[in-house]
Structure 1
């Protein structure tokens, strides 16, 4: 199973990138998680007469070829980062790779609430007509207090957090497999 893990911000250091990197190295049985960045995408402008940038078409092709997508979003001011919204605008305009694609939303934040507001907003955006993703409901992995959750090697330190992440990811794998069966018929 091929999964694209989309880092939902453009920061040089990101706990959400760290989470996806952890998932990529931890969940290796029957799955390959490729971590993809959005930091090089230019600002979306629908009125531009220029062709779609190569970085957008490359990302769209990776998403289209994947069995599923995990989007790791931080929460900035009760919302998704502008860089993630920019990415989704490019993809909904230029290529539509999320159409009928299974998507899991995860998030890490420094505060207590995790990324609850951002995840709710992201789920609504992913359901919009230009994206039409199949977003896994429930199994919302939101991790707060990020600085306490990872050790210096990028490993999760809390067994309960790891158990919940594993449960959520296993449910996502089942969701992707069920989606495959539905699209084959």
Structure 2
């Protein structure tokens, strides 16, 4: 059984993105172990000269490193991923490399009708950067629009069409994870290149 880390891509206490990941954790419990990870509480990234990252970010990096894959659920603010999520990813690229060649599935929930489409595109660009180098599952976005009405009182998805889409994408992600494990010949070199990035002169 696969083990996944699911990052709640917001520092909000009340988020339908957290609710979506909690639903996935419960709904797919017989297929995979999904551990939710919060980004709340991380300080602003400030490129510390001693190269030390906060204990919370170190723990997140260890969880990601030990997982088979990562699921990120992002809100959309001003046509982009939230600053809090980008801040977390900055810490997770600073002299650490947990995302290098790590399979990632992106989801998103929003109050409007588009379901974080622009934020997900933005997040893909960030995850594909030289500092992170994640392997993002292609053509796999899950958009949950009108998210305030998307769940019943028990936290289950109401729209059966959306549920079928999510189930299909999750099955595809598990296959993607297995395939990605075979694409590891440059992993050591990728991690070394990330580690050697000259942050001091940037």
Structure 2 residue aligned with 1:45: 46
Structure 2 distance, partners of 1:50, 1:62, is 20
Structure 2 distance, partners of 1:38, 1:182, is 29
SS state at 2:143 partner: strand
Structure 2 residue aligned with 1:33: 34
5+ residue gaps, structure 1, are none
Deviation at 1:82, TM superposition (A): 0.4
User: In the superposition, relative to structure 1, how do residues 180 and 87 fare at CA in structure 2: closer, same or farther (>3 Å)?
Assistant: same
SS state at 1:183 partner: coil
Structure 1 residue aligned with 2:173: 172
The two structures, once aligned, show a CA RMSD in angstroms of 1.3
5+ residue gaps, structure 2, are 186-202
Aligned residues: 184
- Contact persistence 2:51–2:95 (CA under 8 A): no
Structure 2 residue aligned with 1:156: 157
Structure 2 residue aligned with 1:61: 62
**Does 1:138 find its partner at 2:139?**
yes
Deviation at 1:23, TM superposition (A): 0.3
What is the CA deviation profile of residues 7-31 of structure 1, one whole-angstrom value per residue up to 9, with x for unaligned ones? 0000001100000000001002231
Deviation at 1:154, TM superposition (A): 1.1
What is the CA deviation profile of residues 128-180 of structure 1, one whole-angstrom value per residue up to 9, with x for unaligned ones? 00000000011210110001111122111111110000011111010001112
Structure 1 residue aligned with 2:189: none
What is the CA deviation profile of residues 21-44 of structure 1, one whole-angstrom value per residue up to 9, with x for unaligned ones? 000010022310001000011110
Deviation at 1:52, TM superposition (A): 1.5
User: In the superposition, relative to structure 1, how do residues 78 and 166 fare at CA in structure 2: closer, same or farther (>3 Å)?
Assistant: same
Structure 2 residue aligned with 1:122: 123
Structure 2 residue aligned with 1:96: 97
**Does 1:86 find its partner at 2:87?**
yes
- In the superposition, the TM-score normalised over structure 2's length comes to 0.88
SS state at 1:5 partner: strand
- In the superposition, the TM-score normalised over structure 1's length comes to 0.96
Deviates more, 1:80-89 or 1:26-35: 26-35
| Larger Rg belongs to | 2
Deviates more, 1:43-52 or 1:107-116: 43-52
Structure 2 distance, partners of 1:60, 1:75, is 24
Deviation at 1:48, TM superposition (A): 4.7
**Does 1:6 find its partner at 2:7?**
yes
Structure 2 distance, partners of 1:101, 1:118, is 20
